[in-house]
């Protein structure tokens, strides 16, 4: 008691003497992380305020911020690129910089990127944009125009030796945007809406495609491949950003240049400029202190640390007068590029561009669609993803309906119970309920209530934190496949068909492989049986997201083990994720690997329960092994196997991790199943929770129907 009192007094004292620690969230790794840590440490030394850091991978950071901050669980300061600013602003999670903000301290485009309705949000830290990296040991003069560039690529490409002029991640719109602008493309029309079906789209795509067709650059380029090719001298030019300097091996000479001018249009390829800034949370309880931390991180020694340790391009002007930084050729080269580039628009419209553009780019590069048709393809996907907000509906009839059904249900229950006394019907009711109560309470609060909320969300439309009641509009849109043909990957029916094929294929493979192995392992004279069994259940023990990432690596086009095995048999490497059939197969292979041990163990248990004298009797009667299997094993296995099959089918139907992490829905969302599609609507397409919930309800309906079918199946069995 005393000790507790003492602790409490100390706690109060500490609170009044020092400020609470500030929370800082960021997405940095490696040198960039070291730099920010060092700066935060300096802040603590100077002010006495602790800074608690949390590093979250960049792609997960945004959703963590948008869910944590409104619930008062977020950071005081967070570091993010400016392009989400508008979204953060609409969700009211970011506070404007205070009056002390001095624009003249920073490079102009960096401040402009953080401006919204006349106010500046956050403090600019660093800038990222694309530039041309060239090997400096090959006697190359940096190309000024695309014509010069093509001549250069011609000279250094030797496809038969696996050598290319250029390597860059052509399938990513961030990398394609400068080309689009260079060919005269304008991404947004006068009303601010994204436009795709424009001549520059076709000409820029055609140019990239021609580079690929002339073997000036490899197909399906990933960041890892770019790095390998450049380091091994098998690509003399690379388009990448400041982070690439960390990927280049020591001792390899290189130089950095602005991207060339497009010869046909005489326009420069202007890359997007991303500005990373320290933003102050609108819900920070110590906003003045948070402002001072954010400002501290953006100037002075923090900037120097960022440049020297993190190799980032500083937004602070004074940094360029620092002696070491001024001499740093990489920094000055990127500054030159940055000053001619345009900040990525921080509009909501910009966020809607990525997915359609990714689809179009990949379709063209994989040869499925001509550059001329790609714009229309992107346009269609854009319209499908950004469906119009359904008209709000009056919820009164729904509430009345709900009320009536609840009353009817209670009335029916009372009627059903009438006549028999409660205690006679349920003599052990109190004990039974007492035993169930703890579990039921937990389930009610943490499973049933979220479930009911999830169900009712499907009747709402969600946009930037606001819900509007729209009745059945979400369901109608989904079931009438509004905005796209039924045969397109985005339509509910296409996804449902894929899901069913996926579930069927997996369950059949799981059961047949599992049963087959169980029968082999049952052989009584088999030695080392225990060893085999242990080895074969290994996949079950591996967490399934690790399984998924591991197989994703194995299916890698250039560095994966599967293609290496194929190559050793003289088979051409397969690009697994560019065609529907191979991408689907990759998913199924992964899921089969992780799923067959469960069925094997269940089958083993069930086989052990079959009395051996049945087989002996059959043997005496002269029945063949196959007849024995069909007439004895299978029928007796059924009762044990059926529940496992039902359970397995429900699991597979909702197997999110494998689909999301292995194929990721490639190509073009074709291999997505219903759950992963629902996830995308909820978390990747403007947080349309209502629409996603409607998908979930439909998933639920399908599984519910399935459970009734199986109930009948097992009912017949026991009858």
Partner 1 sequence: MSKWKMFALHAGLSVVCVATLYPVLWVVKLALSPTQTLSLSANPFPEAVTLDHFRDVLGTTDAQGRWLFGRQLLSSLVVSTATTLVGLTLAVTAAYALSRFRFPGKQSGMQVLLITQMFPATLMLVPLYSILQTLGLLDSIGGLVLVYATSSLPFCVWMLKGYFDTIPKELEEAAIMDGASPGQVFIKVVLPLARPALAVTALFSFMQAWNEFILAATLLNDATRFTLPVALQRYVGEYKTEWGHFAAGALIISAPVMALFFALQRSLVGGLTAGAVKG
Give residues 353-382 in contact with partner 1 (rule: CB under 8 A).
Answer: none
Piece of 104-112, 354-362, 442-450, 482-490 that binds partner 1 (CB under 8 A): 442-450
Map residues 8-27 to x or -, x wherever contact with partner 1 holds by CB under 8 A: ---------------x----
Stretch touching partner 1 by CB under 8 A, among 256-264, 302-310, 398-406, 438-446: 438-446
The two three-digit tokens of residue 253, written as one number = 């000479």
User: Among 118, 251, 419, 438, which residue sits at the site for partner 1 (rule: CB under 8 A)?
Assistant: 438
The answer to whether 355 touches 685, Cβ cutoff 8 Å, is: yes
E strands, 161-227, are 164-167
**Which position among 31, 165, 560, 669 is part of the footprint of partner 1 (CB under 8 A)?**
560
Binder of partner 1 out of 399, 449, 497, 713 (CB under 8 A): 449
DSSP 123: E
- b/e per residue 56-72 (b: at least 16 CB within 10 A): beeeebbebbbebbeee
User: Does 696 help bind partner 1 (rule: CB under 8 A)?
Assistant: yes
Q: Is 300 in the site for partner 1 (CB under 8 A)?
A: no
| Closest distance to partner 1 from the beta carbon of 605 (Å) | 3
CB of 615 to partner 1, least distance (A): 14
532 sits near partner 1 (criterion: CB under 8 A): yes
Q: Which is nearer to partner 1, 405 or 609 (CB)?
A: 609
> What residues from 623 to 652 belong to the interface with partner 1 (CB under 8 A)?
639-640, 643-644, 650
List 442, 465, 611, 635, residue binding partner 1 (CB under 8 A): 442
Does 406 participate in binding partner 1 (rule CB under 8 A)?
A: no
Q: Which is nearer to partner 1, 433 or 508 (CB)?
A: 433
Number of residues lying near partner 1 (CB under 8 A): 122
Report the distance separating Cα 536 and Cα 558, nearest Å. Answer: 29
Cα 153 to Cα 159, 206, 231: the distances in Å are 11, 17, 17
Task: Give 29 or 712: the residue with its C-beta nearer to partner 1.
Answer: 29
The reply to whether 299 sits near partner 1 by the rule CB under 8 A is no
How far is residue 231's CA from residue 375's CA, in Å, rounded to a whole number?
35
- Our separate counts of H helices and E strands in the chain read 33, 18
Q: Which of 704, 709, 716, 719 binds partner 1 (CB under 8 A)?
A: 704
**Residue 528 falls in which region: left (phi positive, over 0), alpha (psi -120 to 50) or beta:** left
506: three-class secondary structure by DSSP? helix
Contact of 267 with 260, CB cutoff 8 Å? no
Q: In 3D, which of 300, 291, 295, 316 has the Cα closest to residue 126? A: 316
**Alpha-carbon span 302 to 79, nearest angstrom:** 14
Span from 87-95, 259-267, 366-374, 542-550 in contact with partner 1 (CB under 8 A): 542-550
Q: Does 665 bind partner 1 (CB under 8 A)?
A: no
- Stretch of 90-98, 345-353, 371-379, 699-707 lying at the interface with partner 1 (CB under 8 A): 699-707
Given candidates 262, 459, 498, 675, which one binds partner 1 under the rule CB under 8 A?
Answer: 675
DSSP calls for 176-190: HHHHHHHTT--SB-T
Is residue 296 involved in binding partner 1 (CB under 8 A)?
no
Enclosing H/E stretch for 467: strand 466-469
Residues 571-630 contacting partner 1, CB under 8 A: 593, 601-602, 604-606, 608-609
Smallest separation, CB 338 to partner 1 (Å):
20
CB neighbours (10 Å) of residue 268? Answer: 18
- Judged by CB under 8 A, does residue 395 bind partner 1? no
Could you tell me the two tokens for 501? 């094929």
From 48-56, 81-89, 185-193, 397-405, give the range in contact with partner 1 by CB under 8 A. Answer: 48-56
- Out of 22, 35, 68, 130, name the contact with partner 1 by CB under 8 A: 68
Give dist(CA 101, CA 105) in Å, integer.
9
φ, ψ dihedrals at 593, nearest 5°? -55, -45
**Complete DSSP assignment for 49-65:** --EEEEE--HHHHHHHH
* CB-based contacts of 267, cutoff 8 Å, min separation 6: 181, 182, 183, 184, 261
Name the residue with tokens 């992380």: 33
Of 107 and 693, CB closest to partner 1: 693
Q: Looking at 10-18, 291-299, 309-317, 690-698, which segment touches partner 1 (CB under 8 A)?
A: 690-698
Longest dimension (CA), the chain: 99
Footprint on residues 415-434 left by partner 1 (CB under 8 A): 417, 422, 425-429, 431-433
**Of positions 20, 58, 90, 287, contacts partner 1 by CB under 8 A:** 58
Burial class (CB in 10 A: 0-12, 13-18, 19+), 147: middle
Restricting to residues 70-89, name those near partner 1 by CB under 8 A.
71-74
By CB under 8 A, is residue 439 in contact with partner 1? yes
* Residue spans of alpha helices (H) in 18-106: 30-47, 58-68, 85-90
Q: Which is nearer to partner 1, 403 or 639 (CB)?
A: 639
Q: What angle do CA 277, 282, 283 make, to 5 degrees?
A: 125
Which listed range, 65-73, 312-320, 489-497, 577-585, lies at the site for partner 1 (CB under 8 A)? 65-73
Q: Which of 654, 663, 671, 686 binds partner 1 (CB under 8 A)?
A: 654
The tokens 């070291």 sit on which residue? 34
Q: Does residue 642 contact residue 710 with C-beta atoms inside 8 Å?
A: yes
Cβ atoms of 133 and 167 within 8 Å: the answer is no
> 25 vs 216, which CB is nearer to partner 1?
25
Among 391, 399, 526, 571, indicate the residue that binds partner 1 (CB under 8 A).
Answer: 526
The yes or no reply on residue 718 touching partner 1 (CB under 8 A) is yes
DSSP label of 258: P
Q: Does 503 help bind partner 1 (rule: CB under 8 A)?
A: no
Segment interacting with partner 1, rule: CB under 8 A, options 78-86, 105-113, 362-370, 447-455: 447-455
What is the rounded radius of gyration, in angstroms, for the C-alpha atoms of the chain? 31
> Of 221-260, which residues contact partner 1 (CB under 8 A)?
223-224, 227-228
Residue 92 interacting with partner 1 (CB under 8 A): no
């Amino acid at each position: 008691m005393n000790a507790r009192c003492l602790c409490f007094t100390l706690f109060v004292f500490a609170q009044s003497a020092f400020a609470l620690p500030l929370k800082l969230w960021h997405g940095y790794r490696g040198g960039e992380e070291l730099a920010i840590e060092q700066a935060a440490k300096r802040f603590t030394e100077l002010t006495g305020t602790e800074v608690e850091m949390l590093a979250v991978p960049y792609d997960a950071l945004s959703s963590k911020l948008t869910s944590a901050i409104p619930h008062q669980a977020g950071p005081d300061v967070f570091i993010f690129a400016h392009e989400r600013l508008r979204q953060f602003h609409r969700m009211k999670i970011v506070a404007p910089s205070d009056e002390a903000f001095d624009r003249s301290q920073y490079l102009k485009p960096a401040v402009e990127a953080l401006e919204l309705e006349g106010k500046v949000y956050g403090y600019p830290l660093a800038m990222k944009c694309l530039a041309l990296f060239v090997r400096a040991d090959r006697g190359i003069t940096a190309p000024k125009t695309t014509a010069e560039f093509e001549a250069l690529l011609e000279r250094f490409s030797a496809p038969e030796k696996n050598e290319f002029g250029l390597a860059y991640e052509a399938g990513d719109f961030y990398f394609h945007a400068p080309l689009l602008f260079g060919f005269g493309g304008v991404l947004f029309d006068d009303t601010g809406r994204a436009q795709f079906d424009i001549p520059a789209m076709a000409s820029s795509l055609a140019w990239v495609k021609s580079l690929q067709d002339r073997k000036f650059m490899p197909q399906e380029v990933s960041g890892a491949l770019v790095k390998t090719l450049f380091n091994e001298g098998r690509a003399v030019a690379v388009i990448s950003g400041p982070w690439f300097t960390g990927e280049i091996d020591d001792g390899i000479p290189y130089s950095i240049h602005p991207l060339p001018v497009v010869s046909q249009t005489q326009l420069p390829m202007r890359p997007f400029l991303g500005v990373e800034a320290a933003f102050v949370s609108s819900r920070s309880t110590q906003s003045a202190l948070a402002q001072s931390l954010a400002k501290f991180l953006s100037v002075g020694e923090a900037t120097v640390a960022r440049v020297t340790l993190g190799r980032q391009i500083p937004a602070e002007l004074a940094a360029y007068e620092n002696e070491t930084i001024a001499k740093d050729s990489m920094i000055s080269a990127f500054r030159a590029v940055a000053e001619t580039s345009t900040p990525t628009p921080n509009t909501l419209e910009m966020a809607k561009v990525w997915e359609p553009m990714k689809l179009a780019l990949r379709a063209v590069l994989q040869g499925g669609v001509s550059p001329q048709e790609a714009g229309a393809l992107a346009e269609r996907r854009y319209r499908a993803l950004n469906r119009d907000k359904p008209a709000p509906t009056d919820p009164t009839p729904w509430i009345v309906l709900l009320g009536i059904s609840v009353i009817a249900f209670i009335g029916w229950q009372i009627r059903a119970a009438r006549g028999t006394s409660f205690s006679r019907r349920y003599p052990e009711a109190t004990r039974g309920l007492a035993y169930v109560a703890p579990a039921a309470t937990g389930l009610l609060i943490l499973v049933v209530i979220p479930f009911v909320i999830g169900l009712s969300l499907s009747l709402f439309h969600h946009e930037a934190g606001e819900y509007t009641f729209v009745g059945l509009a979400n369901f109608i849109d989904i079931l009438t496949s509004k905005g796209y043909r039924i045969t397109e990957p985005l339509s509910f029916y296409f996804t449902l068909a894929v899901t069913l094929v996926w579930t069927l294929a997996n369950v059949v493979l799981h059961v047949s492989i599992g049963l087959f192995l169980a029968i082999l392992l049952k052989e009584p004279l088999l030695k080392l049986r225990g060893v085999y069994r242990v080895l074969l259940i290994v996949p079950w023990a591996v967490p399934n997201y690790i399984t998924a990432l591991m197989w994703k690596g194995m299916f890698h086009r250039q560095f994966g083990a599967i293609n290496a095995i194929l190559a050793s048999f003289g088979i051409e490497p397969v690009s697994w994720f560019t065609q529907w059939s191979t991408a689907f197969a990759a998913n199924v292979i992964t899921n089969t690997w992780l799923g067959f041990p469960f069925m094997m163990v269940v089958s083993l248990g069930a086989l052990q329960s079959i009395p051996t004298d049945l087989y002996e009797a059959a043997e005496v009667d002269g029945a063949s092994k196959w007849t024995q299997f069909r007439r004895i094993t299978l029928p007796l296995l059924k009762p044990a196997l059926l529940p496992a099959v039902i359970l397995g089918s429900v699991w597979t139907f909702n197997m999110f991790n494998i689909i999301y992490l292995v194929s990721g829905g490639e190509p073009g969302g074709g291999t997505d199943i219903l759950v992963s599609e629902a996830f995308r609507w909820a978390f990747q397409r403007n947080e349309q929770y209502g629409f996603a919930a409607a998908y979930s309800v439909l998933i639920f309906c399908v599984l519910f129907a399935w459970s009734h079918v199986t109930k009948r199946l097992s009912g017949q069995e026991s009858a």
